[in-house]
Amino acid sequence: MGGAETFPVYAAEADYTQQLLHESSHTEDIERELLALLAEQQQQAGWAAFDHGQHKLAEQLYEDSRQNAEDAQAFDLAGNALAYAAYQQTATQQSGTALAADSYEVARRVATPKVSALLLERKAWAHATAGEAAEADRALNLAREALNAPSNRPEPDWVFWIDAAEIDIMAGRCWTELRLPLRAVPVLERVLGEFDDTHARDKSLYLTWLATSYLHACEVEQAAVTLGHAADLAAGVTSVRPARRIETVARRLARHRSTPAVADLLARLNV
């Protein structure tokens, strides 16, 4: 499901929690727990708004989340709110490196291994989109180290999805952004080969980076085939991000329209 479908659900949950905070009496401990819950729900709503292309709304939700997380003394959540905001900046042609660095510093002292890994991989992406290869590589290595760090602390539920495969996907995306196809293609091929098509929105997005790396490597036909797979998966997904990425890569392919596989794909996509 895309942001258009999930935003009303997440927004309603956040509104209900906010109502509880304002209209009920509770202890300081319960208030902190409710503030932390609200911060998490606002991040979910912000991500859904971002996924649906509502950037101003997403930006406000991330800022509200950060403030509520800090009031709850949940500095890992506060760091994550900043990481979301940094990620959005990179998607809107802004540099997210400063916010991404802040996100890690805010959470560093309290972060569990998965939280650290998440914030560091987002930091890597910010550096990659800024063309800072060494910094991106360093952040990716630190993310892997963080993920493998021994710990007996419970992980928050909002990082359940962070694992080695997620960091590998981010590495492949970073290397694609840095025009390093010899590094990007093998890792993206391996991880996406094991990625279930039922996760249509995410897989379609990730396939666009693989298609881009094929194009960087002058593997034009393979780029077209891969982008076609991404388009098939994105059909019916209510998210603007896959559609925009597919259109962007398709326009880059257009210079190779004389290649039959490219011509067929562009005709299908009306590009």
Asked whether residue 82 is assigned to any structural domain, the reply reads: no
Q: Give the number of other CB atoms < 10 A from CB of residue 144.
A: 16
* Number of domains the chain contains: 1
Please say whether the beta carbons of 221 and 263 come within 8 A: no
Give residue 231's domain range.
Answer: 163-270
Question: Cα–Cα distance between 111 and 269 in angstroms, integer?
Answer: 44
Asked whether residue 111 is assigned to any structural domain, the reply reads: no
- pLDDT value at residue 240: 85
What number of residues does the chain have? 271
Question: Cα–Cα distance between 258 and 65 in angstroms, integer?
Answer: 50
Asked whether residue 200 is assigned to any structural domain, the reply reads: yes
Asked whether residue 17 is assigned to any structural domain, the reply reads: no
* Average pLDDT taken over every residue of the chain: 95
- pLDDT value at residue 51: 85
- pLDDT value at residue 91: 86
- Residues of the chain short of pLDDT 50, as ranges, are none
Query: Tokens 């509502």 map to which residue?
Result: 54
Asked whether residue 229 is assigned to any structural domain, the reply reads: yes
* Closest alpha carbon to 97 in 66, 122, 64, 62: 122
| CATH assignment at residue 251 | 1.25.40
**CA end-to-end span of the chain:** 25
- pLDDT value at residue 4: 66
- pLDDT value at residue 2: 64
Q: pLDDT digits over 184-228, tens only?
A: 999 999 999 999 999 999 999 999 999 999 999 999 999 999 999
* Closest alpha carbon to 123 in 148, 152, 101, 95: 101
- pLDDT value at residue 3: 64
Asked whether residue 260 is assigned to any structural domain, the reply reads: yes
- pLDDT value at residue 1: 60
